[in-house]
């Protein structure tokens, strides 16, 4: 359609009904200033343009880049590196060619502020959260000039918004930001915008907010909600319709929590509760600025195909995230995996089997990752190496291989230790899991409620052995990263599945074996961890499983092959949207009993393990226990927010000076 064919009345006729014809004419003759053409401001412009507003002053000094794609209306392949203000002006003109636009491509500053607000009926704030000074300045000038102003912040999957009218409370009286260092102005702005914080409960990864790098998480849904409420308030203000609740009223609408709240802060941030929140916020900000950056910040950038394959394979799981492997790259086609086991210090690995299973998982992951690059791996275990140092030589070659459909799920596979849904497995999902490992393995499932309860009871007893065996104490006290959501070499406490109070208790107890013994003896110290980490998760899942080899496991290679099967099964469950937790210690204790491995000097622990082994055989059958490679549970539910991550590639490479 050519510009001459554009007809304003026709284009916006579907607004009629919610606005009268006379109101539509009034809207066409209004001018709105919008500062910021990013996620919020850009969507404001498009929304208000479609409402039929006829003139805008637009400002933004920035250009589009890829990290804008998730939420900014103007961010597209063909706008990268282009001026945001220019792009949005074009988009708006494409909707209404008769628009009267004034574009401030240099952004707004003290010298052009009056020009930016000239003849304006309303100011709409789309400025970056991290630009508090200029925001305060624009709102102050609007107040002086008698211009109403709206700010709507995209918060989580909702919006928090405030309206400032010329006769109402001013921005400064509400937020009290003047004279504060910039880092504290962020706090006052946020605390004033969202006096209650419904979004907090579903923020899964707080580390993604980086004040230092002036970057925070944000969603398109929130930007659109901001534009929705602002468009509505703009309509009411411009047409003098409907009730408007200006500051000190605040408004919160959270689509995720399905909540709307309107409140009133008579004294703005000066009120006693708000002041307290601000002070707490200052402390938090100081802590955040002192903290380490987010996990990917120090990740090595892989260069050659081998680097890329190993970089993927390092996401293979290992008991307690020990990552018992280092890589030595010889040339573009060859590298060596130097494996080791942890039998010298881990009571769960006295025969090295847990590490061997993990190494098998690593080899399988390597092959899957290589297939995604059109490569095949020839892997040979080096003979003559000590059993506790399994070593594999790998030759990589270009091959006509189909990319393994499990490849995309390598980094997404993780351990969920919290309760899952009890919804039974879909038959199709069980079938896919059964078929995931090839003909040498089968799965024994424990799914019926009565069986699941027996398994829960067994895991409860098993946990008692874990928590009261002195030889397990050094393992437990060294593998947990406290106060952590992510851990590169251990397990973060937040991934253990315990509540914060339980974690505090556990942290104190694990300070010494004396404390553990005291708690266990007099205060039932094992009860809470067994309840939260074993019994409840065991009851709350779709089912437990054992991956069983079709022949007895005898050699190191048998366990490595079992580890390959484990990884295919685990990745398949990730692909199916299932959560997964290994439950390996009952199998491990049963093997110690069978092979007469004295894993403890404590006779009580040995006796308990004998009983446990008998119960396990009673539940699963003797052969399943004997030939079982891997045991765990699966179920539907959300992925864990906290997880073990991995050492960066550079630290896993031998010769880097940092390898083991
Ligand atoms: C052989 C093996 C045994 C494991 N045993 C247990 C276990 O008994 N309980 C558990 O919660 N996690 C167990 N894990 C899971 C690891 O702790 C986990 O894979 C590791 O911390 C890495 O975390 P991620 O799986 O989230 O990437 C085991 C993993 C492997 C490979």
What are the tens digits of pLDDT across the range 362-416?
999 999 999 999 999 999 999 999 999 999 999 999 999 999 999 999 999 999 9
Which is more confident, 208 or 591?
591
Alpha-carbon distance 399 to 539, whole Å?
46
Q: What is the pLDDT of residue 580?
A: 98
Whether 503 and 492 have beta carbons less than 8 Å apart is answered as no
Whether 34 and 56 have beta carbons less than 8 Å apart is answered as yes
- Three-state SS at 501: helix
Q: Over 90: is that where the pLDDT of 206 sits?
A: no
- Mean predicted confidence (pLDDT) in 267-290: 94
Q: Taken in order 142, 143, 146, 149, is the CA torsion positive or negative?
A: positive
Q: Taken in order 234, 239, 243, 246, is the CA torsion positive or negative?
A: positive
CA end-to-end distance (rounded Å), the chain: 67
Retrieve residue 233's tokens: 């308030």
Q: Whose CA is nearest to atom 17 of ligand 1?
A: 320
Provide the b/e sequence for 573-584 (b: ≥16 CB within 10 Å): bbbbebbbbbbb
CA of 434 to the centre of ligand 1 (A): 21
Whether 116 and 31 have beta carbons less than 8 Å apart is answered as no
Q: Which helix (H) or strand (E) holds 114?
A: helix 113-116
Whether 141 and 57 have beta carbons less than 8 Å apart is answered as no
How far is CA 318 from its chain centroid? 21
Alpha-carbon distance 269 to 239, whole Å?
31
Q: Which of 317, 348, 573, 591 to mutate to test the pocket of ligand 1 (most atoms within 8 A of CB)?
A: 317
Q: Whose CA is nearest to atom 20 of ligand 1?
A: 321
Q: Over 90: is that where the pLDDT of 518 sits?
A: no
Whether 195 and 250 have beta carbons less than 8 Å apart is answered as yes
Q: What is the pTM of this model?
A: 0.87
CA of 32 to the centre of ligand 1 (A): 57
Alpha-carbon distance 558 to 116, whole Å?
74
Cβ-proximal residues to 179 (8 Å cutoff; 6+ apart), any chain: none
- Mean predicted confidence (pLDDT) in 159-186: 96
- Mean pLDDT across the chain: 95
- In the structure, which protein residues have their CB atom closer than 6 angstroms to any atom of ligand 1? 317-321, 354, 357-358, 361, 414-415, 417, 491, 581-585, 643-644
Q: What is the pLDDT of residue 292?
A: 57
CA of 414 to the centre of ligand 1 (A): 9
pLDDT grade, residue 615 (50/70/90)?
very high
- Mean predicted confidence (pLDDT) in 111-117: 97
Rg (CA), the chain: 31
Alpha-carbon distance 529 to 238, whole Å?
60
Maximum C-alpha span of the chain = 93
- Mean predicted confidence (pLDDT) in 497-507: 93
Q: What is the pLDDT of residue 289?
A: 85
Q: What is the pLDDT of residue 301?
A: 53
CA of 416 to the centre of ligand 1 (A): 9
pLDDT grade, residue 213 (50/70/90)?
confident
Whether 559 and 441 have beta carbons less than 8 Å apart is answered as no
CA of 207 to the centre of ligand 1 (A): 23
User: Other CB atoms closer than 10 Å to residue 94's CB: what's the count?
Assistant: 12
Whether 161 and 151 have beta carbons less than 8 Å apart is answered as yes
Which is more confident, 119 or 287?
119
Q: What is the pLDDT of residue 297?
A: 47
Q: Whose CA is nearest to atom 6 of ligand 1?
A: 582
Whether 307 and 329 have beta carbons less than 8 Å apart is answered as yes
CA of 357 to the centre of ligand 1 (A): 11
What domains can be seen in the chain, in order of their start residue? 8-291 (3.40.50.720), 305-405 (3.40.109.10), 414-644 (3.40.109.10)
Q: Over 90: is that where the pLDDT of 300 sits?
A: no
Nearest of 71, 3, 78 to residue 39 by alpha carbon: 71
Alpha-carbon distance 196 to 213, whole Å?
26
Alpha-carbon distance 159 to 602, whole Å?
59
- Three-state SS at 545: strand
Q: What is the pLDDT of residue 658?
A: 43
Q: Over 60: is that where the pLDDT of 298 sits?
A: no
- Mean predicted confidence (pLDDT) in 414-427: 98
- Mean predicted confidence (pLDDT) in 532-549: 98
Whether 96 and 9 have beta carbons less than 8 Å apart is answered as no
Q: Whose CA is nearest to atom 12 of ligand 1?
A: 582
Q: Which helix (H) or strand (E) holds 443?
A: strand 441-446
Please report, rounded to a whole number, the percentage of residues in the chain having pLDDT higher than 90. 92
Alpha-carbon distance 411 to 574, whole Å?
10
Alpha-carbon distance 591 to 596, whole Å?
8
Q: What is the pLDDT of residue 659?
A: 42
- 348: cis peptide before it, omega within 30°? no
pLDDT grade, residue 238 (50/70/90)?
very high
Whether 199 and 157 have beta carbons less than 8 Å apart is answered as yes
Q: What is the pLDDT of residue 660?
A: 41
Backbone angles phi, psi at 106, to 5 degrees: -90, 5
């Amino acid at each position: 359609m050519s510009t001459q064919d554009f007809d304003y009345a026709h284009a916006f006729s579907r607004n009629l009904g919610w606005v009268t014809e006379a109101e539509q004419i009034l809207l066409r003759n209004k001018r709105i200033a919008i500062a910021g053409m990013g996620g919020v401001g850009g969507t404001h412009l498009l929304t208000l343009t479609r409402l039929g507003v006829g003139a805008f002053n637009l400002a933004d000094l920035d250009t589009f880049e890829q990290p804008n794609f998730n939420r900014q209306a103007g961010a597209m392949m063909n706008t990268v590196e282009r001026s945001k203000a220019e792009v949005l002006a074009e988009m708006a003109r494409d909707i209404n060619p008769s628009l009267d636009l004034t574009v401030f491509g240099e952004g707004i500053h003290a010298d052009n502020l009056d020009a930016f607000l000239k003849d304006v009926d309303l100011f709409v704030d789309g400025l970056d959260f991290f630009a508090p000074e200029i925001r305060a300045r624009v709102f102050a000038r609007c107040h002086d000039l008698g211009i109403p102003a709206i700010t709507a912040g995209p918060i989580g999957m909702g919006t928090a918004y405030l309206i400032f009218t010329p006769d109402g409370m001013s921005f400064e009286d509400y937020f009290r930001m003047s004279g504060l260092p910039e880092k504290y102005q962020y706090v006052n702005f946020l605390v004033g915008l969202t006096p209650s914080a419904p979004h907090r409960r579903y923020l899964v990864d707080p580390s993604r907010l980086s004040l230092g790098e002036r970057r925070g998480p944000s969603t398109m849904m929130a930007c659109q909600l901001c534009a929705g409420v602002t468009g509505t308030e703009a309509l009411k203000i411009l047409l003098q319709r409907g009730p408007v609740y200006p500051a000190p009223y605040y408004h919160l609408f959270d689509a995720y929590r399905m909540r709307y709240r309107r409140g009133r802060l008579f004294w703005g941030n000066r009120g006693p509760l708000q002041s307290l929140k601000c002070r707490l916020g200052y402390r938090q900000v100081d802590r955040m600025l002192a903290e380490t950056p987010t996990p990917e910040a120090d990740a090595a950038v892989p260069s050659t195909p081998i680097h890329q394959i190993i970089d993927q394979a390092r996401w293979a799981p290992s008991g307690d995230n020990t990552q018992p492997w280092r890589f030595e790259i010889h040339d573009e086609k060859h590298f060596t995996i130097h494996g080791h086991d942890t039998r010298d210090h881990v009571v769960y690995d006295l025969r090295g089997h847990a590490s061997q299973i993990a190494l098998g998982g690593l080899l399988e992951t390597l092959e899957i990752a290589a297939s995604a690059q059109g490569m095949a791996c020839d892997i040979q275990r080096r003979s003559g190496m000590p059993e506790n140092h399994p070593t594999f030589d790998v030759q990589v070659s270009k091959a006509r291989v189909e990319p393994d459909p499990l490849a995309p799920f390598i980094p997404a596979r993780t351990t969920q230790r919290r309760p899952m849904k009890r919804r039974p497995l879909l038959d199709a999902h069980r079938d896919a899991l059964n078929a995931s490992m090839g003909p040498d393995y089968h799965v024994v499932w424990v799914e019926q409620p009565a069986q699941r309860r027996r398994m829960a009871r067994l895991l409860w007893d098993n946990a008692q052995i874990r928590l009261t065996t002195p030889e397990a104490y050094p393992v437990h006290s060294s593998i947990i990263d406290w106060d952590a959501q992510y851990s590169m070499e251990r397990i973060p406490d937040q991934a253990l599945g315990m509540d914060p109070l339980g974690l505090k208790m556990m942290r104190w107890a694990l300070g010494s074996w004396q404390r553990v013994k005291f708690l266990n003896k007099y205060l039932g110290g094992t009860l809470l961890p067994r309840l939260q980490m074993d019994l409840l998760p065991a009851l709350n899942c779709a089912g437990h499983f054992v991956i069983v080899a079709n022949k007895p496991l005898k050699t190191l290679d048998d366990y490595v092959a079992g580890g390959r099967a484990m990884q295919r099964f685990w990745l398949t469950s990730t692909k199916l949207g299932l959560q997964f937790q290994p439950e390996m210690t009952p199998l491990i204790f049963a093997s110690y009993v069978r092979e007469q491995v004295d894993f403890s000097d404590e006779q009580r622990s040995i006796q308990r393990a004998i009983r446990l082994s008998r119960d396990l055989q009673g539940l699963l059958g003797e052969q399943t226990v004997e030939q079982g490679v891997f045991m765990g549970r699966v179920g539907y539910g959300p992925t864990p927010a906290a997880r073990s991550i991995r050492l960066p590639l550079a630290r896993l490479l031998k010769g880097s000076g940092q390898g083991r």
